[in-house]
Amino acid sequence: MDIYYWISNSLILERTPSGFPCKPPSLVTANDFSFTGLVAGNTENRFRLGVTTASVNNLPGLNGLGISAARIDVGFNGTVPMHLHPDASEISIMVEGQMIVGFITPTNLFVKTVNAGDVFVFPQGLLHFQVNSGSGTAVSFSAFTSPDPSMQVLDELLFANSLQTAILQKVTFLDFEQIKKLKAVFGGTG
């Protein structure tokens, strides 16, 4: 099978349930295998987090390979909030600064302080986080076992919706006022 058969046609056709349609081999170029935008992300936000991705959406050559990458910039006192990737495992390589990283299983917590040159793995589907514990910006690069991994942020799942505050209070044991405050921060209603 010719490897070019798998090149994503994402810039021309829409994604289907099984991924992007393939590009005709005659239209494939070296640019389909290259991406030059894995640069520092904007950390001017509530989490002080900037993420730049190289996925099948901007690197068509990833189509069919089951991999992607990201650059994660976390400003001073910033965080990658508690989140999960239901469709991918993640391996993170620290290149600058220091972070406290970890993930939670139903029976355990795994936490470690990582520095430049350290590697940490987040298993697929588990809640995990990264907190900048250094004195400046922390930078890491991650690889994923998906060409376009999804990300579900716990705070946004809980507080950026219209679920009634009274119901959320019962299912989380958080007090009413705290839920209202968090809904205001994340744009939720109800």
Sign of CA dihedral 156, 160, 165, 167: negative
CA dist 130 and 123 (Å) reads 14
Q: What percent of the chain has pLDDT over 70?
A: 90
- Domains of the chain: which residue ranges? 3-159, 160-190
> Of residues 58 and 11, which shows the higher confidence score?
58
For residue range 98-131, list pLDDT tens digits in order. Answer: 999 999 999 999 999 999 999 999 999 999 999 9
Query: If pLDDT is split at 50, 70 and 90, which confidence band does 17 have?
Result: low
Residues that constitute the known binding site: 83, 85, 90, 128
How high does pLDDT run on average in the chain? 90
Note the pLDDT of residue 126.
98
pLDDT band at 23 (very low <50, low <70, confident <90, very high): confident
At 90 the pLDDT is: 99
Output the pTM of the full model. Answer: 0.87
Distances (CA, A) of 124 to 82, 89, 127, 166: 14, 4, 9, 32
| Residue ranges at the known binding site for oxalate | 85, 90
Task: List residues forming the annotated binding site for Mn(2+).
Answer: 83, 85, 90, 128
Q: Which fold has domain 3-159?
A: Jelly Rolls (2.60.120)
d(CA 14, CA 181) in angstroms, rounded, equals 39
How is 139-158 classified by DSSP, letter by letter? EEEEEESSSS---EEHHHHH
* Residue-wise pLDDT tens digits, 31-66: 989 999 999 999 999 999 999 999 998 998 888 889
Q: What percent of the chain has pLDDT over 90?
A: 79
